[in-house]
Amino acid sequence: MQLQVSKTDLVQSTNGVITMFNILILLVFIFCVISSYIVLNKLFFNGRVINRIYTYIKVDQVSKVKRKVKKEKHMQTIKNLFIRINKSITKHNRTKTRHYKKFNDQLGDAILIISNSLKVGHSFTQALDTLVMEMPAPLSTEFGQVIREVRLGKTLEKSLENLLERIPSKDLELMLTAILMQRETGGNLAEVLDIISETIRERLKLSREIKTLTAQGRLSAIIVLVLPIAIGGVMFVMSPDYIMELFTNKIGILMVVSGIFSELIGMVFINKIIKIDV
């Protein structure tokens, strides 16, 4: 009777150990998948997927907070704090969107149109009208908003500052600084805009060349990150007993942890190599 009980306890303890190892395998697999997604999204999609999800969450939070503020007037302080935080998050997200990148790509041509309009004798406001008619969205949309604000009574300086808040671009900031300085001190604005336009064009050209030259590095990073996970998954399906040695042995567990750590370190170094700021 004692022998039978001991055998039953042994079977139960064995099943418990197997269950724990299965849970450990599942947790390691989930960790690898999440780490791979975050690193790939950061390296090769500029954080667009995460930023979009985060933006959708923030939009939902904004609507909830607005309804709550309308019902409770004494929460005005919380509303102001939330607006400040939301503005900083929105500014960060816009630097990662296609809208922002397309605007930057069109900015060099837009500056050239403004410069040519000024050379033929148009005023700056007329040059903006020409820009809105000639350029496609999103640049025409953003500058059209500037013109509407001016016609509704805002000063041109304030409207341009609002544009910079909506599109936090360094190239746009350089252009607006030159325009505002010229309005205060005078000078040949068309010549200055020509120089700025050429600088922006050269920067975009250099950025595209760097992206082409680092394409092999980005592909290598994808392979280095995905290959171990893919091979481990295939081996787990084809021969579970063979791959289970990595999770039933202390040395195997140590190897798995060190492998994951090495993968992350390798991705960080590859990211430092292929990421070049222009």
Query: Lowest-confidence range among 30-39, 118-127, 162-171?
Result: 30-39
* Verdict on whether the full-model pTM lies above 0.85: no
Nearest to 111 by CA among 186, 151, 103: 103
What pLDDT sits at residue 42? 57
What pLDDT sits at residue 85? 58
Question: Looking at domain 98-212, does it have CATH number 3.30.160.100?
Answer: no
Q: Is the model's pLDDT at 175 over the cut of 60?
A: yes
Cβ-based neighbours of 81, under 8 Å, separated by 6 or more: none
> Mean pLDDT across the stretch 125-137?
88
The tokens for 244 are 């289970």
The tokens for 211 are 């992206």
For residues 276 and 273, what is the distance between their CA atoms, to the nearest angstrom?
A: 8
Q: Is the model's pLDDT at 2 over the cut of 50?
A: no
Q: Is the model's pLDDT at 57 over the cut of 70?
A: no
Q: Is the model's pLDDT at 177 over the cut of 80?
A: yes
Yes or no: say if 110 and 131 are a contact pair by the CB < 8 Å rule. yes
Nearest to 237 by CA among 29, 32, 31, 33: 29
What pLDDT sits at residue 201? 85
3-state secondary structure of 169: coil
- Give the burial string for 140-179 (b: 16+ CB within 10 Å, else e): bebbbebbebbeeeeebeebbeebeebbebebbeebbebb
Q: Is the model's pLDDT at 155 over the cut of 70?
A: yes
